[in-house]
């Protein structure tokens, strides 16, 4: 079936798909007329009701996290339509929204992803492995550019983790749980007032597991394991009714293994040098809010982040026994590629908000802001190889971003309003490495948005938005460093690709949100069309004569994306609710030239689907409130096939997964039995294509597709004890 046929078939299926939803804060209870709990979105300048926010947004609450036994963002994002992710690490920290986003990271800095991840007011950037969900209140997934608010850091979308704030009452919780594959976690939450105007919250958790790979060479079962510590602290001071201050800190320390790829795409590795995906992050955020009178308020936010990351993997995936059990052409290499990074980031933001609290006829409100970001990254690279010897390099990459922005909202009537935003950003970078490559650049970026919003009545909301987003160009770090070592033909090809241009993305979107049947039905839908000028597409090529893999961003083509997103929920009875989401997506790259491994030549591909862009994604579930304080949920999720690169035609196969949970809540104890991928389906979250297998019986060094598998059947029990 063609992609277009699948697309139209899925559209036809909307007639029988129950209204579905993501944003639910509680299990189904008795629904009373005109009494529906609002879900508040906090990622914009002003908090807003989800059903009246002029954007396609999914909100995943504490219930969804508990039902899935979620520890990290990767455990819940599949519930959001048209959101994909790539692993290439111990955690799936590379996100794509509507087909736009990063796929992996090696030598490139990647501090500036197309889909940003924010924890409260802290921009994580390339540190998205720290997107842990312990003590999180909700996860907000904003699809489409959020340029006025976040600039190029939210070029295609934004994911925001909102953690629980200090409360007015004392609170103490003990969290714990165990699961298969040697997993366990333990956590502590303390929160409450320290005085009449001072409150604090402390949350710490240790999350550990063996992972899902057995290493046959070493006999160990945890070479792809997890060892993650998360600590958050929030201190809130409100000395007067007109002033409040908050100081928050984050400590994340992970020592995860990375042993993911095998020659037979199984969960049994023969690597003799399993890798590592270790990360340490210390961050501090300070915020002040002041009410100035006359409907005006002032906000100031400053943050500092210091991080270290060691990413390493066994470059050949094999060990001596492999070539003792089978004949290997040329033996095998012994190498571990290592990327040792250090990063410091400082941000400062100041904004003035003014105008009416709500928009009636003739009402006006505005936001004016200034933003600054400074980021320094160092990389020490090493490739000790038995075949090629020791290759080492070091580099430094510094960036600065300065922006001024504004947003204006105006009410034409009680029902019709306009929102318009503009952001001007100055980007500069400076790169130098030990190979003698040095470059610097400046870029002026423009982000803009205009949106019309109309409320048919208190229950139905319509919006239409056009948004322009810009992402800066820069140097292709790996290609520039390797250029002198390339063979002549590859030098000729890469000569004009050592840098990539800035990308301009325009998103056209129309959405409808409605709540009907006395609040029993929630429905949110959006249609979108996206154009990408100078689309920044990740690509690879293999220079066999030089023995080099060269990765780079190619901005030589335009692209387009369009599709539909549907979310909603329906309370069938007072105790039974159906919920879910559907995303449909079509993408196309006008033309891209790459080195085809199978043809051993440069080829041009026209009309190619963008990578990690499945034509459909869905999530459909049933949630029930049972007697004796029990709740239960059953859901199925899935997605279509998708390409995982441009230098070949390999695809990640589509899949369908079944998840379920059973919960019980008492006066002070909550117990959740959860399971994911109950059918134990093998599915891939990342892919590579090249010649890696040295064994003659398996077609030595022939090009094959290799996959990093997602989690198998996992299950466990979680407990929360409120003291």
Instruction: Give 15 or 278, the one with higher predicted confidence.
Output: 278
- pLDDT of the residue at 495: 92
Higher local confidence (pLDDT), 3 or 536: 536
Helix (H, G, I), strand (E, B) or coil at 55: coil
> What is the mean pLDDT of the segment spanning 630-650?
93
The answer to whether 33 touches 24, Cβ cutoff 8 Å, is: no
Residue 702 carries which DSSP code?
A: -
Residue 644, pLDDT score: 86
Domain boundaries, given as residue ranges, for the chain:
3-331+343-391+400-722
Average pLDDT of the segment spanning 499-520: 95
CB atoms within 10 A of CB 242: 12
Is the pLDDT assigned to residue 33 strictly greater than 50? no
Over 80: is that where the pLDDT of 29 sits? no
Determine contact, residues 285/306, Cβ cutoff 8 Å: no
DSSP track, 545-581: TTTEEEEEEE-S--EEEEEEEEEEEEESSSSEEEEEE
Cα angle, residue 256 at apex, residues 254 and 260 outer, rounded to 5°: 150
Contact 663, 670 (CB under 8 A): yes
The residue-averaged pLDDT of 290-311 equals: 95
393 and 409 Cβ atoms separated by less than 8 Å: no
Residue 281 above 60 pLDDT?
A: yes
Q: What is the pLDDT of residues 687-705, one digit of tens each?
A: 999 888 888 888 888 999 9
Q: Are strands 684-691 and 703-709 parallel, antiparallel or unpaired?
A: antiparallel
Tell me how far apart the alpha carbons of residues 215 and 194 are, in angstroms, rounded to a whole number: 50
The SS3 call for residue 222 is coil
Rounded to two decimals, the pTM is 0.91
User: How far is 615 from 617, CA to CA, in rounded Å?
Assistant: 7
CA-CA distance, 660 to 599, in Å (whole number)?
46
- According to DSSP, the residues that pair with 143 across neighbouring strands are 56, 157
Does 461 or 701 have the greater pLDDT score? 461
d(CA 654, CA 416): 42
pLDDT digits (tens, 9 = 90+) for 111-168: 678 898 999 999 988 778 889 999 999 999 999 999 889 988 899 999 999 999 999 9
What pLDDT is attached to residue 554? 92
Side-chain half-sphere CA neighbours of 445 within 13 A: 34
| 65-89 average pLDDT score | 92
Residue 391's pLDDT band, with cuts at 50, 70 and 90, is confident
pLDDT of residue 19: 33
**Mean pLDDT, range 44-54, rounded to an integer:** 91
d(CA 144, CA 102): 15
Contact partners, residue 469, CB within 8 Å, separation at least 6: 145, 147, 152, 154, 155, 156, 447, 504, 505, 506, 507
What is the predicted pLDDT for the residue at 361?
92
**What is the CATH topology of the domain spanning 3-331+343-391+400-722?**
Maltoporin; Chain A (2.40.170)
> What average pLDDT does the structure give for the chain?
90
For the cut 50, the answer to whether the pLDDT of residue 606 exceeds it is yes
pLDDT at 11: 37
């Amino acid at each position: 079936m063609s992609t277009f046929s699948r697309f139209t078939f899925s559209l036809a299926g909307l007639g029988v798909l129950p209204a579905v939803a993501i944003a639910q804060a509680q299990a189904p209870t008795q629904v009373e007329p005109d009494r529906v709990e609002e879900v508040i979105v906090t990622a914009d300048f002003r908090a807003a009701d989800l059903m009246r926010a002029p954007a396609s947004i999914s909100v995943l609450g504490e219930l969804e996290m508990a039902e899935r036994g979620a520890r990290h963002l990767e455990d819940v994002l599949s519930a959001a339509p048209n959101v994909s992710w790539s692993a290439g690490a111990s955690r799936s920290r590379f996100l794509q929204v509507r087909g736009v986003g990063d796929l992996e990271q090696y030598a490139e800095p990647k501090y500036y992803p197309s889909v940003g991840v924010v924890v409260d007011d802290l921009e994580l950037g390339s540190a998205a492995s720290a997107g842990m969900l312990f003590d999180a209140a909700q996860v907000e997934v904003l699809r489409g550019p959020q340029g006025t608010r976040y600039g190029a850091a939210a070029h295609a979308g934004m994911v925001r983790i909102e953690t629980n704030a200090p409360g007015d009452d004392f609170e103490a919780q003990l969290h714990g749980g165990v699961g298969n594959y040697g997993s366990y976690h333990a956590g502590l939450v303390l929160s409450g007032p320290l005085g009449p105007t001072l409150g604090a919250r402390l949350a710490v958790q240790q999350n550990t597991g063996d992972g899902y790979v057995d290493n046959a060479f070493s006999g160990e079962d945890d070479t792809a394991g997890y060892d993650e510590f998360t600590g958050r602290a929030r201190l809130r001071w409100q000395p007067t009714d007109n002033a409040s201050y908050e100081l928050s800190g984050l400590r994340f320390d992970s020592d995860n293994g990375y042993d993911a790829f095998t020659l037979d795409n199984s969960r049994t590795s023969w690597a003799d040098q399993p890798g590592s995906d270790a990360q340490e992050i210390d961050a501090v955020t300070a915020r002040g809010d002041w009410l100035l009178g006359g409907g005006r308020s002032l906000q100031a936010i400053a943050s500092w982040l210091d991080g270290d990351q060691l990413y390493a993997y066994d470059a050949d995936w094999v060990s001596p026994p492999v070539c003792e059990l089978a004949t290997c052409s040329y033996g095998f290499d012994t190498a571990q590629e290592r990327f040792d990074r250090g990063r410091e980031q400082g941000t400062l933001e100041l904004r003035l908000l003014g105008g009416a609290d709500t928009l009636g006829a003739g009402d006006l409100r505005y936001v004016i802001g200034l933003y600054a970001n400074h980021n320094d990254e160092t990389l020490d690279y090493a490739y000790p190889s038995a075949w090629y010897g020791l290759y080492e390099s070091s580099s430094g990459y510094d960036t600065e971003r300065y922006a001024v922005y504004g947003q204006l909202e105006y009410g034409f009537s009680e029902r019709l309003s306009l929102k318009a935003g503009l952001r001007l950003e100055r980007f500069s970078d400076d790169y130098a490495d030990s190979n003698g490559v040095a470059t610097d650049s400046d870029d002026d970026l423009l982000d803009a948005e205009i949106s019309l919003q109309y409320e048919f009545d208190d229950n139905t909301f319509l919006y239409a938005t056009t948004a322009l987003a810009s992402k800066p160009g820069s140097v292709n770090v790996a290609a520039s460093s390797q250029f002198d070592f390339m063979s002549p033909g590859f030098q000729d090809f890469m000569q004009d690709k050592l840098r990539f241009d800035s990308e301009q993305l325009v998103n056209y979107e129309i959405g409808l949100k409605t709540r009907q049947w006395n609040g029993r039905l929630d429905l949110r839908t959006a249609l979108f069309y996206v154009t990408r000028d100078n689309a920044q597409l990740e690509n690879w090529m293999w220079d066999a004569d030089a023995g080099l893999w060269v990765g780079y961003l190619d901005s030589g083509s335009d692209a387009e994306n369009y599709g539909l997103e549907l979310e909603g929920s329906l309370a069938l009875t007072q105790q039974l609710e159906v919920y879910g989401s559907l995303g449909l997506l079509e993408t196309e790259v006008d033309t891209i030239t790459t080195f085809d491994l199978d043809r051993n030549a440069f080829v041009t591909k026209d009309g190619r689907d963008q990578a990690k862009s499945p034509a459909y994604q869905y999530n459909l579930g049933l949630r029930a409130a049972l007697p004796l304080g029990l709740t239960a949920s059953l859901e199925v999720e899935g997605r279509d096939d998708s390409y995982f690169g441009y230098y070949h035609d390999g695809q990640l196969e589509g899949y369908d997964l079944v998840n379920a949970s059973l919960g019980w809540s008492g006066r002070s104890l909550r117990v959740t039995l959860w399971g994911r991928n109950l059918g134990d389906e093998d599915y891939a979250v990342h892919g590579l294509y090249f010649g890696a297998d040295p064994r003659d019986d398996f077609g030595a060094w022939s090009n094959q597709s290799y996959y990093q598998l997602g989690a198998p059947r996992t299950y466990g029990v979680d407990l929360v004890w409120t003291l």
